Amino acid sequence: MYEDQTFENILERMLDRVPDGIDKREGSIIYDALAPAAAELSQMYVELDLNANLRFPDTASGEYLDRSIAWSGVKRKLASKAQLRGLFYSGSGDLLDIPIGSRFSLGELNYVTVERMSAGNFRMECETAGSEGNRHFGSLIPIDYITDLGRGELTELLVAGEDTEEDSALYERYQEKVSRPITSGNRFQYELWAREITGVGRARAFPEWAGPGTVKVVLLDNEMRAPAVPIVEAVQQYIDPTQDGMGEGAAPIGSVTTVVGATEIPINISVKVTLATGATLEEVKEQLERGAAEYFRDLAFTDPLIRYTRIQGIILGIPPVIDYSDLLVNGGAMNIEIGMDDVAVLGTVTVT
């Protein structure tokens, strides 16, 4: 918008306003007096351009994106805390019950006991919100003294923690709401309801899947994989907790909604490659896995066809690969079609 408002153009206009009889050469008094003002004005125009972009959803970011779409009712999903299974044993090796609220540390993260699941078996919540709490397992160090505690450990992820929703995902949800005819409990509205729950990346609704008045909503998480059971349950509780058509949730009266996670379809890839000097099979395999996984994420709930030629393109796009042969995708050399409620995920990758 202000591309022509450069330091040079501004200074030239300012000097043009000075009578010709005055020395305006670089280094003169008048030049040195005007140059700092021109520099500040050019910077002001840069800031004006940035501020203009922050007013519109397609160019805004961070809190400005939140503010620019606030009118639509779409809000950014905040980070959530991971919940994990903790097992605790006495000094003699027996399972030990510990007080609710007991705090432990593992590495740089702290965890608190929030629920007893069975003897010595507790639900632990990471005190730090976000996905970092999903990654650590092993021995816990007690922060508070607990009588007869021999050891404790985190053994299993129960509910994945989610990071604060990224700008791209928030803008996608906003676009979905303003560009689709979402009203009166139509298919798009069910998908929007599902995506309002933290941990849901995409959703697809199937009207009358088991007869009149029934709706099935299939979910993907933020990694475009089948979501954890607690996420599915949270969406079910929000849309239709009773599943009896009484309208106790967001779904209208008469609608019976079933929420499920997508079925993962593993895509196995094997290929023989000719490598450049100095390259390794492990390097090629790693790049192929990364490229294929990204391709499958892009396809999730948007295109049901895994294209053989796209896999070929990924292989040829790996710099150390000179040529390839014997490419098989799920044992064949053809496209693979997956169901509308399925999602393709990377299976085994074999590179020889």
pLDDT of residue 159: 85
* Interacting residues of 134 by C-beta distance below 8 A, sequence separation 6+: 82, 157, 160, 161
* Total count of residues recorded for the chain: 352
pLDDT of residue 62: 92
**Amino acid occupying residue 53:** N
pLDDT of residue 333: 93
Phi first, then psi, for residue 168 (nearest 5°) are: -65, -40
Tokens of 49: 């351009």
* Interacting residues of 326 by C-beta distance below 8 A, sequence separation 6+: 270, 271, 272
pLDDT digits (tens, 9 = 90+) for 205-258: 999 999 999 999 999 998 899 998 889 999 999 999 999 999 999 999 999 999
pLDDT of residue 177: 84
Tokens of 80: 């959530």
Please tell me the distance from the alpha carbon of residue 203 to that of residue 252, in angstroms, as a whole number: 18
pLDDT of residue 3: 77
Please tell me the distance from the alpha carbon of residue 296 to that of residue 293, in angstroms, as a whole number: 5
DSSP string, 230-296: HHHHHHHHHH-SS-SSS--SSSPTT-EEEEEEPEEEEEEEEEEEEE-TT--HHHHHHHHHHHHHHHH
Please tell me the distance from the alpha carbon of residue 186 to that of residue 205, in angstroms, as a whole number: 9
* CA distances in angstroms from 155 to 44, 94, 97, 130, listed in the order given: 55, 17, 16, 19
pLDDT of residue 278: 85
pLDDT of residue 198: 86
Long-range contacts of 4-10 (CB under 8 A, 24+ apart): 5/41, 5/42, 5/45, 6/42, 7/38, 7/39, 7/42, 10/38, 10/41, 10/42
Average pLDDT per consecutive 10 residues, the chain (352 residues; last block may be shorter): 85 89 88 92 89 88 92 90 94 92 95 94 95 92 92 91 91 86 84 90 93 94 89 93 92 93 95 89 92 93 92 92 92 93 94 92
Paired residues of 205 in beta bridges: 217
